Amino acid sequence: MSKPVIQVVGGGLAGCEAAWKLAQAGYPVELFEMKPTQTSPAHQSEYLAELVCSNSLKADRLSTASGLLKAEMRLLGSLLLEVAQDCAVPAGGALAVDRDLFSQLVTHHIQSHPAIRLIREEVTGIPKGPVVIATGPLTSPALSQAIARRLGQGYLSFFDAASPIVTADSIDRSIVFAAARYGRGGADYLNCPMNQQEYDRFYDALVSALGVEQKEFERQEFKLYEGCMPVEALAKRGRDALRFGPLKPVGFTDPRTGKRPWALVQLRQENLAATLYNLVGFQTNLRFPEQKRVFSQIPGLEQAEFARYGVMHRNTFLDSPRLLDHTFALREDPLTVFAGQITGVEGYMESAASGLLAAEQLIRRLEGRPLLTLPPETMLGALSRYISDSDVVDFQPMGANMGLLPPLPQRIKDKQERYEALALRGLEALQKALRE
């Protein structure tokens, strides 16, 4: 019995990884890429798997979140990591590549595969499955509209305006306290109290911090988006603007002083395991090193580990927890699969990993084999659970980070040793799952 043709829409990292995985399993693949006939504002070349903003694929050490993710991808037969090694450039402990050579080599591999047909044209509707849609954060307007019509306008976002997220075990609980405003309801938030001196120091650092230079198309579009006021822009309206906005202290008492704080930063639980907390109202366009410097001045966050930094950019992504299952397939149509940043994973390797995993699960589904059940201790498992967790209310994209993994049964104080233990546990869990 002949295998069905599988269409893959999008020739970015996720689409190429998915197409390669499917073709290696013997499936004929039609890979659609709209470049060069139609381009997005961010892309420059006609090659596949184009790296737009950086040549770094992040850390390669196993004891890092990114390193663990790469190790898991290698076990699943990643094409992109193989290519990356062939065009790597010196970058210390990180995996960095020659960007042009990387895209050229990926394109060569895809075009040379006898089971892959590369079609250079724009797709303006959702093809009938089996299909993998991996069109990235700048999905074309026509396809975006088609997705919105199919899934519902409220399930598709076009801007990623998100606050930073910190790991729970890096919060200083001798300063930060759990409480609800005026004691109403449960103590669902953690609160970082500031006295006047601490607030003034933080305020001065915030208003003088360096921001990211947005691209012209992003500047124009964000003018139309009312809900994206960066915390640093709000602060520049006046020294007390934050104290009467997201840092409003009324209704709280600092347990250390018995008095109301001068200002207060709230942290909201980000996941069910309570390993991650979001800085409420802190969507920001500051550069990442500046976020680390400035936000670490918040009392209780001096040693905070940032699982993700705040971002504000053009980013098409689904409300995946309401739409997708852990295989990246539509709950209502399992042969329609999404992959890459459109699903809410953030980062080059995360996008590639989602394409790899989505293809693996689609193959199993088509062949009537058991789906791959990824343990929560694995980074792939953690990411697939994050994008499909229907308990998440305010869904925002997320990259690989150790805060997504369940805690170790034993407490390890040293961060490096703790991360090594988490990584070894995750890799062992994936190896066992693949054997079974």
Instruction: Establish whether the linkage from the previous residue to 334 is cis, with ω within 30° of 0.
Output: no
pLDDT along the chain (436 residues), means of 10: 93 98 98 86 82 82 95 97 92 84 96 98 94 92 92 78 88 94 77 96 94 59 53 92 93 94 92 84 90 96 92 83 96 97 93 98 97 95 94 84 93 91 96 91
Selection from 326, 424, 423 nearest residue 383 by Cα: 326
Token pair recorded at residue 350: 């995360």
| SS3 state at 407 | coil
Domain boundaries, the chain: 6-162+314-435, 165-309
Count of Cβ atoms closer than 10 Å to residue 188 Cβ:
11
> How high is the pLDDT of residue 40?
67
CB within 8 Å of 165: residues ≥ 6 apart: 270, 276, 277, 278, 279, 306, 307, 308, 398, 403
Say how many C-beta atoms besides its own lie within 10 A of residue 157's C-beta. 16
Residue 171: both structure tokens together? 């919060």
Half-sphere exposure of 124 (CA within 13 A, CB side): 3
Asked if the domains 6-162+314-435 and 165-309 are classified in one and the same CATH topology, the answer is no
Q: Does domain 165-309 bear CATH number 2.40.30?
A: yes
**Rounded to the nearest 10 degrees, how much is the dihedral formed by the CA atoms of 390, 330, 347, 50?**
-170
Cα–Cα dist 403/274, whole Å: 9
* pLDDT score for 191: 95
Does the global pTM surpass 0.85? no
Res 160: pLDDT: 63
pLDDT attached to residue 316: 86
Q: What are the start-end ranges of the H helices in 167-224? A: 196-207, 216-222
- pLDDT for 390 equals 81
292-325: burial string, b at 16+ Cβ within 10 Å, e else:
eebbebbbbbeebbbbbbbbbbbbbbbbbbebbb
| 6-162+314-435 placed in CATH 3.50.50.60 | yes
Residues in the chain: 436
The helix-helix angle for 79-86 and 99-112 (nearest 10°) equals 130
Residue 164, pLDDT score:
92
